[in-house]
Amino acid sequence: MSTRKKIVAGNWKMNKTFSEGTALAEEITGKLEAGDVTVILGTPYIHLQAVGAIIKDHPNLFLAAQNCHQAAGGAYTGEISPAMLQSLGVQYVILGHSERRKYFGETDASVSEKVSIALAHDLLPIVCVGEELSVREAGKHEALVGEQIENALFDLSPEDFGKIVIAYEPVWAIGTGLTASPDQAQEMHGFIRNTLAAKYGDEIAQATTILYGGSCKPANAQSLFSQPDVDGGLIGGASLKADDFIAITNSY
Ligand code: 13P
């Protein structure tokens, strides 16, 4: 049994009004039993402070933002800096989500900048990687994911790299109802871990939490999380319902 941190993180994306979001956080906080899974709520920015206050006494619940800007501050209208997140007590930040890459022009280079500044503000990055269907069909998915990881993360010191969580989210499985099979997930997670071992050594690779994301739900979470290199999930749609989300956290 690995000693890696097990994580189930919800990514609420652009869902829930303020009152709906606080109600969801209250329901999750009330129903989630203490255990050895780190459970993260990735809320829209406007919910962070209130949700942080709701979850603060639960031993397993933590807070994530879904993005941050790569500059320390300044004239970037509409953006949020890592220092602002830090000042609210946010612990994690999701970076490089495929929706950010697709709709907001994020690249491996901007993800790399964001990872560095997030770490400098004591935020733990959850860095998303994953291929489009056409890339998988061309048999190039491992090459692409390897490149995304190398470009975004391999300038980090071993000490900083030790703080990173990686989320493998095949783009074709996000919000589509299609899920990577447990074998497909394991194959990619094993590849990612080997890639990390080649760069940072076996000890760091074995200690890195690698999450699966893409139509993960109560019905399939257990078969995915039982794979040796799958250390939990990054959950979109199913994180918006307390009972589904909690069922997923109970799937180990
Ligand atoms: P779904 O679980 O809705 O497919 O979303 C996955 C995801 O993008 C989590 O970041």
Q: What is the phi-psi region of residue 96: left when phi exceeds 0, alpha when psi lies from -120 to 50, beta otherwise?
A: left
**Segment 190-206, tens digit of pLDDT:** 999 999 999 999 999 99
Q: Does residue 169 have an active-site annotation?
A: yes
Q: Is 97 a catalytic residue?
A: yes
pLDDT for 165: 98
Radius of gyration of the chain (CA): 17
- Cα four-point dihedral sign 117, 63, 68, 204: positive
Give the domains, in start order, of the chain with CATH numbers. 6-249 (3.20.20.70)
- End-to-end distance of the chain based on CA atoms, in angstroms? 12
Exposed, middle or buried, 103 (CB in 10 Å: 0-12/13-18/19+)?
exposed
Beta-strand (E) ranges in 121-200?
124-129, 165-168
Q: Is 62:39 a contact under the CB 8 Å cutoff?
A: yes
Could you tell me the distance, in angstroms and rounded to a whole number, from the CA of residue 201 to the centre of ligand 1?
Answer: 30
From atom 7 of ligand 1, which residue's Cα is the shortest distance away? Answer: 236
Å from CA of 13 to ligand 1 middle: 9
Please give the number of the atom of ligand 1 that sits closest to the Cα of 42. Answer: 10
Cα 153 from chain centroid (whole Å): 15
Bridge partners of 235? Answer: 10
- List ligand 1's pocket residues with C-beta within 6 A: 11, 97, 169, 174-175, 213-216, 234-238
CB atoms within 10 A of CB 46: 12
> Is the full-model pTM beyond 0.85?
yes
In this predicted model, what pLDDT tens digit does every residue of 80-115 receive, in sequence order? Answer: 999 999 999 999 999 999 999 999 999 999 999 999
Structure tokens at 22: 């606080």
Q: What is the pLDDT of residues 23-75, one digit of tens each?
A: 999 999 999 999 999 999 999 999 999 999 999 999 999 999 999 999 999 99
Contacts of residue 30, defined as CB under 8 A and 6 or more positions apart, other chains included, come to: none
pLDDT digits (tens, 9 = 90+) for 217-230: 999 999 999 999 99
Region for residue 161 given its phi and psi (left: phi exceeds 0; alpha: psi -120 to 50; beta: otherwise): alpha
Here the tokens at position 198 are 């080649």
| Nearest alpha carbon, ligand 1 atom 5 | 236
Kindly tell me if the per-residue pLDDT of 178 is higher than 90.
no
- Ligand 1 centre to CA of 218 (Å) is 13
The preferred substitution site among 129, 169, 244 for testing ligand 1, maximizing ligand atoms within 8 Å of CB, is 169
State the closest ligand 1 atom to the C-alpha of 128, by its place in the atom list counted from 1: 10
